[in-house]
């Protein structure tokens, strides 16, 4: 009989990956937990064969009902959702209580054999108080709570998920093209030799790793680090350049070290959180993923079968697919914009390139190959103006699109963002560039 695995956050990146992977394995049946069981994403999971149940992480009793009969539970929380609306300190309290509610509900699940908790290291402890990465440390405090109950700890595996490839679509990570240097650069509060452990596309690989942990349950209380490949920040950026085709060749990319204060000035708000994380990694380096017990976590690859290892998607493939989806979304936008705004002069310069009137220029537009500074440079993950500042509407659209949903499902949002750019304030820029296009 198939083991019932209950997956929290089933429509998100991590939970969705676990659901999709386990649905392909007859050893498991899947119950997908979501706040909105009537939503389109939940209906899609149901159509794939998952049982879909509504529950509220703020309501322990609703979780008890949702967890009933579970052999295993994959538990995850989302710090950033409340942080955007109520701020960091309140978000910490909300995330902690939601995690505790899940632990309490899991303890009340008499059938439970395996609790998989998606957590992160304690930056404050590892740095002896120098850093406090909020969305790391609040999760680690839940680890402390779990360890107080030896019986429940015996059922628990702590899961560390490493660096997501989609982070490269966040404005704070999108490589900037500097025309004078002919380089794509990242400005970060760390140096390029800082270690980076990559999970690649978490929407694909999380589920593969979790299935391996379910199939090869480690001793209770074990920390497992999910890594596809090991990089430095510089080698990771080089791979991004090669995989997307935007920065091929030696010396075409660079990680430029700036101070944490300068980073926060460049990226107020979100940069505070990401900057603290980057600075912590720079400080901790090889100890960045050390457990609260002072040991290295188990490498998830050591728990995997040869078949599961083959199922992992490489980081390069993740970059290539994301870039391809983005390019296709731009193409679809151009097609729809041509139909809706056939006489708009501001769009004509871009439209004629995409429609194949000049295939060479079209390829350059898509891949960022323009040589003149007044022409647009479009990367697989963002749009940069080689002469002026990054168009803010596109920067904001990349921030929105990089949250939780797959690129391919956001084509309309991309079109809307680009439409605002083309029709809402940059017509003079395109008119000036017309002679070059």
Q: What is the spatial distance between Cα 204 and Cα 13, in angstroms, rounded to a whole number? A: 8
- Quote the pTM value: 0.79
Kindly report the number of other CB atoms within 10 A of residue 154's CB atom: 12
The ranges assigned to domains in the chain are 317-433
Highest-scoring range by mean pLDDT, 163-172, 258-267, 307-316: 307-316
Highest-scoring range by mean pLDDT, 75-89, 321-335, 413-427: 75-89
366 or 52, greater pLDDT:
52
pLDDT in tens, 137-147: 999 999 999 99
pLDDT in tens, 274-304: 999 999 999 999 999 999 999 999 999 999 9
184 or 353, greater pLDDT:
184
CB-CB contact of 51 with 43 (8 Å) = no
- Please choose, from the candidates 191, 243, 172, 240, the residue with its C-alpha nearest in 3D space to the C-alpha of residue 390: 172
Question: What is the predicted pLDDT for the residue at 245?
Answer: 84
Determine the straight-line distance between the first and last CA of the chain, rounded to whole angstroms. 64
What residues contact 321, with CB distance under 8 A and at least 6 apart?
201
Q: Which of 62-66, 121-125, 424-428 has the lowest mean pLDDT?
A: 424-428
153 or 384, greater pLDDT:
153
Torsions phi, psi for 2 (to 5 deg): -65, 140
Q: Which of 21-25, 70-74, 173-177 has the lowest mean pLDDT?
A: 173-177
Confidence of residue 364 (pLDDT cuts 50, 70, 90): very low
CB-CB contact of 71 with 111 (8 Å) = yes
Residue 252: pLDDT over 80: yes
| DSSP SS3 for 201 | coil
Q: What is the spatial distance between Cα 263 and Cα 141, in angstroms, rounded to a whole number? A: 27
Question: What is the predicted pLDDT for the residue at 172?
Answer: 86
**Looking at residues 123-130, what average pLDDT do you find?**
97
271 or 160, greater pLDDT:
160
Task: Report the chain's mean pLDDT, rounded to a whole number.
Answer: 80
Question: What is the predicted pLDDT for the residue at 181?
Answer: 86
Q: Using alpha carbons only, what angle is made at residue 304 by residues 303 and 305, rounded to the nearest 5 degrees?
A: 130
- Please choose, from the candidates 218, 249, 253, 252, the residue with its C-alpha nearest in 3D space to the C-alpha of residue 237: 253
Residue 54: pLDDT over 90: yes
Torsions phi, psi for 302 (to 5 deg): -75, -15
CB-CB contact of 147 with 122 (8 Å) = no
What residues contact 249, with CB distance under 8 A and at least 6 apart?
none
Q: Is the dihedral of CA 396, 399, 403, 407 positive or negative?
A: positive
Question: What is the predicted pLDDT for the residue at 176?
Answer: 85
Question: What is the predicted pLDDT for the residue at 331?
Answer: 60
pLDDT in tens, 5-50: 999 999 999 999 999 999 999 999 999 999 999 999 999 999 999 9
Q: What is the spatial distance between Cα 117 and Cα 107, in angstroms, rounded to a whole number? A: 13
Question: What is the predicted pLDDT for the residue at 180?
Answer: 84
What residues contact 121, with CB distance under 8 A and at least 6 apart?
136, 140, 160, 288, 289, 290, 291, 292
- Please choose, from the candidates 152, 56, 114, 285, the residue with its C-alpha nearest in 3D space to the C-alpha of residue 144: 152
Question: What is the predicted pLDDT for the residue at 416?
Answer: 47
Confidence of residue 383 (pLDDT cuts 50, 70, 90): very low
**Looking at residues 88-113, what average pLDDT do you find?**
97
CB-CB contact of 186 with 196 (8 Å) = no
Confidence of residue 191 (pLDDT cuts 50, 70, 90): very high
Q: What is the spatial distance between Cα 223 and Cα 225, in angstroms, rounded to a whole number? A: 7
Distances in whole angstroms, Cα of residue 278 to Cα of each of 15, 95, 188, 379: 25, 22, 7, 23
Q: Kind and range of the H or E element at 282?
A: helix 270-284
Q: Kind and range of the H or E element at 409?
A: none
Question: What is the predicted pLDDT for the residue at 231?
Answer: 98
Distances in whole angstroms, Cα of residue 407 to Cα of each of 189, 321, 397, 400, 414: 28, 10, 11, 11, 9
What residues contact 352, with CB distance under 8 A and at least 6 apart?
358, 437
Q: What is the spatial distance between Cα 414 and Cα 412, in angstroms, rounded to a whole number? A: 5
Residue 385: pLDDT over 80: no
> In terms of DSSP bridges, do strands 229-232 and 195-200 run parallel, antiparallel, or are they unpaired?
antiparallel
Highest-scoring range by mean pLDDT, 105-114, 375-384, 409-418: 105-114
220 or 361, greater pLDDT:
220
What residues contact 148, with CB distance under 8 A and at least 6 apart?
none
CB-CB contact of 305 with 212 (8 Å) = yes
Question: What is the predicted pLDDT for the residue at 266?
Answer: 86
Kindly report the number of other CB atoms within 10 A of residue 77's CB atom: 24
**Looking at residues 133-158, what average pLDDT do you find?**
98
CB-CB contact of 32 with 7 (8 Å) = yes
DSSP character for 403?
Answer: S
CB-CB contact of 149 with 206 (8 Å) = no
């Amino acid at each position: 009989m198939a083991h019932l695995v209950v997956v929290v956050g089933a429509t998100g990146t991590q939970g969705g990956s676990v659901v999709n992977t386990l649905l392909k394995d007859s050893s498991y049946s899947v119950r997908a937990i979501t706040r909105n069981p009537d939503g389109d994403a939940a209906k899609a999971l149901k159509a794939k064969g998952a049982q879909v149940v509504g529950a509220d992480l703020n309501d322990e009793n609703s979780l008890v009902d949702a967890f009933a009969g579970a052999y295993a539970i994959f538990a995850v929380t989302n710090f950033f959702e409340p942080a955007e609306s109520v701020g960091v300190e309140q978000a910490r309290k909300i995330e902690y209580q939601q995690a505790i509610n899940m632990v309490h509900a899991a303890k009340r699940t008499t059938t439970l054999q395996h609790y998989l908790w998606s957590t992160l290291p304690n930056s404050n402890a590892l740095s002896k108080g120098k850093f406090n990465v909020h969305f790391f440390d609040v999760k680690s405090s839940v680890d402390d709570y779990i360890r107080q109950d030896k019986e429940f700890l015996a059922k628990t595996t702590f899961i560390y998920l490493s660096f997501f490839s989609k982070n490269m679509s966040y404005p704070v990570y999108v490589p900037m093209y500097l025309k004078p240097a002919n380089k794509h650069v990242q400005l970060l509060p760390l140096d390029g030799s800082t270690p980076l452990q990559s999970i690649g596309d978490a929407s694909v690989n999380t589920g593969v790793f979790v299935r391996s942990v379910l199939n090869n349950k480690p001793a209770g209380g074990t920390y497992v680090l999910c890594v596809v490949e090991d990089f430095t920040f510089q080698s990771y950026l080089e791979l991004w350049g090669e995989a997307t085709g935007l920065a091929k060749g030696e010396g075409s990319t660079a990680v430029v070290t700036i101070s944490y204060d300068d980073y926060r000035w460049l990226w107020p708000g979100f940069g505070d959180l990401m900057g603290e994380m980057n600075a912590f990694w720079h400080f901790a380096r090889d100890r960045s993923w050390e457990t609260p017990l002072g040991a290295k976590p188990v490498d998830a690859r050591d728990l995997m079968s040869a078949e599961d290892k083959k199922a992992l998607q490489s980081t390069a493939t993740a970059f290539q697919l994301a870039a391809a989806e983005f390019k296709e979304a731009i193409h679809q936008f151009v097609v729809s914009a041509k139909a809706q705004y056939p006489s708009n002069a501001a769009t004509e310069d871009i439209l004629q390139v995409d429609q194949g009137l000049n295939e060479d220029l079209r390829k350059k537009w898509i891949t960022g190959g323009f040589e003149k500074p007044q022409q647009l440079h479009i990367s697989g993950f963002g749009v940069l103006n080689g002469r002026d500042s990054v168009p803010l509407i596109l920067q904001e659209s990349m921030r929105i699109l990089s949250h939780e949903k797959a690129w391919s499902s956001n084509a309309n949002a991309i079109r809307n963002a680009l439409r605002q750019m083309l029709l809402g304030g940059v017509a003079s820029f395109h008119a000036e560039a017309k002679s070059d296009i």
